[in-house]
Structure 1
């Protein structure tokens, strides 16, 4: 109500809105609960319904407030009262965040076979995920990872066949996911909101594939898509201009690296070949005789622009789509431990580029930069973490 003083400790100034007061009240409730229980959030007791903010300020305003809170705080918010618990565990808040174009990008990576960590670049905070279910065969197998919607998918192999483990941020639990129509490894993938595109790779018999699939995290089902024009494994995927792209990889029948890319249009469900899409070396040559165990191209799309990191030449290139060419826009922040490109991660985190790798004996560093047109890349060290210095898997979840 205009002219009325806000609650003690509320945002200063007479211009504080009801939304700001609501956010402040939620933070105060969280802090009070943490202090009361010495930070042991798992033992917090749900407050009774009389404390619901939705009763005091209206459900719409409360929801509008909650979607603006950091998702790092959602685990605590879910313990404040039954209404918050229901909202957060249902996934409704994440759907509302998407509609309001509110997205937080977190980096998820693994330097140990069954252990994952999450890093929040905005708050500079770390979170350890629960350890994956013990499966010795899965632990020793090659693994791929992909973040889609509110899920982290880890693809690997059990004794008899490939399997997928799924971590859901709503429940903080690992579970077995649905199998693909064509189980595969060493494939290209990219996600867009609740949808993930997967293409290529090789099947359990070692056959190189051209087939593709679409995964919907809300229905938890895989849908068969039309196949690519070329079969390929050890390829990379990315989403740009509303389309899914696959680049690089080893083709069927030889060990030569493919220089062409392919573009998939989700509306027409058709693939379009793109000749000579693979980045060239500084001397202008495309290395088509790369070793068969070389990692897939390190690519990332930031602000709808494609970038590629060359760990050998220590440079980053930007893709000029109209000319189908690449230009060098800067160097990598630091030379890190790698084996033919494995052990490094190059990802987009919103409009930022993220470069992750190990240095020394037990240290992982995360660098970030915001690419600017016409300017060389300026990398900043976001964080370092004591860990093994080899990044097995890395993905970014935006929700």
Structure 2
């Protein structure tokens, strides 16, 4: 808990809930102390519009400062780095920072080295989580090695640095997962599985991390700083029933009890503080669709099989391996599915253990047997990422619907020229 130092805050310090205004106040006071007139602030970009050294903005707000300009800037601004903003003290400085949008963290990081160290350490994100401050950004790939980030609040598109794997990884099956402040991309190199990790703290990719039992084609979901991965295939193609828990803060993998059934090409979600694996392929012949789901209780460490939990269509004629894993997402502990064949949205009735159609998907959200279409939860919204089929370069669209506001009514949040096939997608909330 942060110490309450409200009695130390100057009388003219902003008291309203506009935390960006607090940051502006503090920076202006610093400028005034240097004999400079405070800069005027644009309401939408209050912090970003300040005079800063040359930088390249990145998807996490991280800033690549010009070394010389950055050193000069830090020398001038870092007279009392331990208190961040000396006028209001360290604790009040942090209180302001955790309520600022992480889109602004790049500009804030360039104020002095203490700000930069605080943001890059991950401490701010831990404090945001403790105080219930969460922003959900969407990360997706429409090119084999290229990733985009989308901020749905500001409708802002950002490009991540390119990955640099070998050709085998480029063309292998890949899964993605956002957990804590990391985006993980799982694939296969020539002789082994590999994980590439993108950190929003450093705006860089790295590799070398390994699961206890490497796998692909698994189901996964994250809850704050932890994630669970279940099922999938090993390097010999054997379908697995095993599961692992990853803690992004500790960087550790923990083997969990195995599921009741081995399965691959399944989906997973967290709901009601439990982890669910839904659908997939398994059975005695390892080629059958599984209509059941499995529930993992984190407190008891036990799996429970749930009949008819997968939104698989009973009349499907397409071979099981040709269909994408179930397109499912959870908002406010309610489970939804995208039926790509009927272009419908379905909701899971927990009491009757049945799926009910409740509306339509966006009309321009095309797919190939479910492949190429992303259906995700993004805070209190369901989002669909995709686009109409097109030869060559097309457009990608992000559509959103808030289930608590009534039947599906999709709003277009963003549209840009891009490939219209989504290879991988993950939502990071931090």
Superposed displacement of residue 339, structure 1: 1.7
- C-alpha contact 1:97 1:103 (8 A) present in aligned 2: yes
Distance 1:161 1:262, change over 3 A: same
Residue in structure 2 matched with residue 238 of structure 1 by the alignment: 269
Residue in structure 2 matched with residue 205 of structure 1 by the alignment: 236
Residue in structure 1 matched with residue 91 of structure 2 by the alignment: 60
Task: Determine if the alignment matches structure 1 residue 332 to structure 2 residue 364.
Answer: no
Distance 1:17 1:294, change over 3 A: closer
Deviates more, 1:314-323 or 1:165-174: 314-323
Task: Determine if the alignment matches structure 1 residue 395 to structure 2 residue 413.
Answer: no
SS for the counterpart of 2:51 is helix
Q: Which runs of 5+ in 2 are unaligned?
A: 1-6, 28-44, 58-62
Distance 1:24 1:184, change over 3 A: same
Task: Determine if the alignment matches structure 1 residue 136 to structure 2 residue 167.
Answer: yes
Superposed displacement of residue 326, structure 1: 1.5
Q: Trace 1:6-85 onto structure 2 (pairs within 5 A).
A: 6=12, 21-25=21-25, 26=27, 30-34=48-52, 37=54, 42-43=65-66, 45=70, 46-47=73-74, 48-50=77-79, 53-85=84-116
- C-alpha contact 1:138 1:158 (8 A) present in aligned 2: yes
Distance 1:23 1:328, change over 3 A: same
Q: TM-score scaled to structure 2, two decimals?
A: 0.84
Q: Which runs of 5+ in 1 are unaligned?
A: none
Task: Determine if the alignment matches structure 1 residue 294 to structure 2 residue 323.
Answer: yes
- C-alpha contact 1:6 1:21 (8 A) present in aligned 2: no
Residue in structure 2 matched with residue 262 of structure 1 by the alignment: 294
Q: TM-score scaled to structure 1, two decimals?
A: 0.91
Deviates more, 1:173-182 or 1:84-93: 173-182
- C-alpha contact 2:312 2:326 (8 A) present in aligned 1: no
SS for the counterpart of 2:276 is strand
SS for the counterpart of 2:290 is coil
Distance 1:64 1:138, change over 3 A: same
Q: Trace 1:373-384 onto structure 2 (pairs within 5 A).
A: 375-384=406-415
- CA-atom RMSD in angstroms: 2.4
Task: Determine if the alignment matches structure 1 residue 180 to structure 2 residue 211.
Answer: yes
Superposed displacement of residue 267, structure 1: 1.1
Choose the corresponding residue for 2:340, options 281, 292, 311.
Answer: 311
Q: Distance between the aligned counterparts of 2:279 and 2:50, measured in 1?
A: 53
Deviates more, 1:75-84 or 1:52-61: 52-61
Distance 1:345 1:321, change over 3 A: same
Q: How many residues align?
A: 387
Q: Distance between the aligned counterparts of 1:172 and 1:332, measured in 2?
A: 34
Task: Determine if the alignment matches structure 1 residue 93 to structure 2 residue 111.
Answer: no
SS for the counterpart of 2:311 is coil
